[in-house]
Amino acid sequence: MVKNIQVVDVTHRKNEYTGYRTRREKGQDSILFVHFLSPASVIIDDNAIDLARNACIIYTPGIKQDYGAITESSNYENNFVTFKTDTLAFFAQYKVPLNEPFYINNEAEITACVEWITWASANRTLSLDEEKTEHVHELFTLLEKGMVGLGTKNMRVNQTRQRFIALRGEIMLNPMGWSVGKMAAACWLTRSRFFVLYKSFFNISPSDDLLMAVLTHVKERLVTTTDSIAMISAECGYARVESFIRMFSDNEGITPGQYRKKNKPQRGV
């Protein structure tokens, strides 16, 4: 059982304002579980999906989040828990859908579990980290027990894809230190099998996708920090800064220094 769980935020039976909506283009660096206690709407792959009460969704780190009231004039209520842990190891223990809605039939048990985590997180007199970890595990055990409308065959078909999506989200948040070999190992697959599946899921090879994630990260660092090109190059795993500059130039058409100069926010005069 994964024991290193940090609860970041939690609320049970949370009533939001009429027409409430949350949009996070890059998701969060945490896992978010949402249990809808009113009709709701979620956006998945740019498609709106209307949901009834007792739908749930589990967002893994780095995955876009867009959900809320079903209309601008509708009320909205939910339970939610946000927590940090080893995402891939944690979900290896539970057969639950990730980043897509599903329904449960044990609302009272789910709400009671989230209520306890809410109480423990608000308690300033007792150290209840172990108990909160146990209750997060209990929550996901209850989700497994209460899921409806998902057959065993459908779960097997979806689990591999969901694991790939979770892995991709983590890499998009921080691609440093990853390689295709490490990505394949995280999914318990050979490199060749991983390569084929990855391309079938995302229409891009894992090596090209990883390169794009690294470039996105580098460009953000160039614009938002004063770190030297050599420092950023080393963090990307390049032994020679010249090789890093060549890679960047081949893909972006300009050097890292030119990109920084062109895109750096100008201070007001």
Axis-axis angle for helices 241-252, 206-224 (nearest 10): 100
In percent, the amount of the chain with pLDDT more than 90 equals 72
Residue 269 — pLDDT band, cuts 50, 70, 90? Answer: very low
Strands 76-84 and 65-69: unpaired
Q: What letter would DSSP give residue 254?
A: S
Which class is 6-151 in CATH? mainly beta
Q: CA torsion 121→7→63→194, rounded to 10°?
A: -160
Identify the bridge partners of residue 44 per DSSP, sorted by sequence position: 47
Amino acid at 121: S
Indicate left, alpha or beta for 239 from its phi (over 0: left) and psi (-120 to 50: alpha): alpha
**Which residues, in sequence order, are CB contacts of 261 under 8 Å at separation 6+?**
none
pLDDT at 268: 53
* Least confidently predicted of 188-192, 247-251, 253-257, 265-269: 265-269
Total count of residues recorded for the chain: 269
Instruction: Kindly report, residue by residue over 71-87, the tens digit of the pLDDT.
Output: 999 999 999 999 999 99
pLDDT at 157 > cutoff 70: no
Amino acid at 184: A
Cβ-in-10-Å burial (0-12, 13-18, 19+) of 151 comes to exposed
Residue 239 — pLDDT band, cuts 50, 70, 90? Answer: confident
Q: Is the pLDDT higher at 157 or at 243?
A: 243
Cβ-in-10-Å burial (0-12, 13-18, 19+) of 103 comes to middle
pLDDT at 214 > cutoff 60: yes
φ and ψ at 50, to 5 degrees? -85, 135
pLDDT at 158 > cutoff 70: no
Query: What is the pLDDT of the chain when averaged over all its residues?
Result: 90
Q: Give the mean pLDDT of 163-174.
A: 88
pLDDT at 82: 98
Contact 220, 202 (CB under 8 A): no
pLDDT at 266 > cutoff 90: no
Q: Is the pLDDT higher at 236 or at 133?
A: 133
Strands 47-51 and 40-44: antiparallel
pLDDT at 267: 63
Instruction: Kindly report, residue by residue over 242-258, the tens digit of the pLDDT.
Output: 999 999 999 999 999 99
Place of tokens 């792959």: 45
Distance CA 67, CA 48 (A): 9
**Which residues, in sequence order, are CB contacts of 204 under 8 Å at separation 6+?**
198, 212
Q: Give the mean pLDDT of 187-196.
A: 91
Could you tell me the CATH superfamily of domain 174-263?
Homeodomain-like (1.10.10.60)
φ and ψ at 217, to 5 degrees? -65, -45
Q: Give the mean pLDDT of 120-137.
A: 92
Q: Give the mean pLDDT of 54-63.
A: 95
pLDDT at 179: 92
pLDDT at 156 > cutoff 70: no
Instruction: Name the residue ranges covered by the structural domains of the chain.
Output: 6-151, 174-263
In percent, the amount of the chain with pLDDT more than 70 equals 95
pLDDT at 142: 96
pLDDT at 184: 92
* Least confidently predicted of 57-61, 159-163, 196-200, 227-231: 159-163
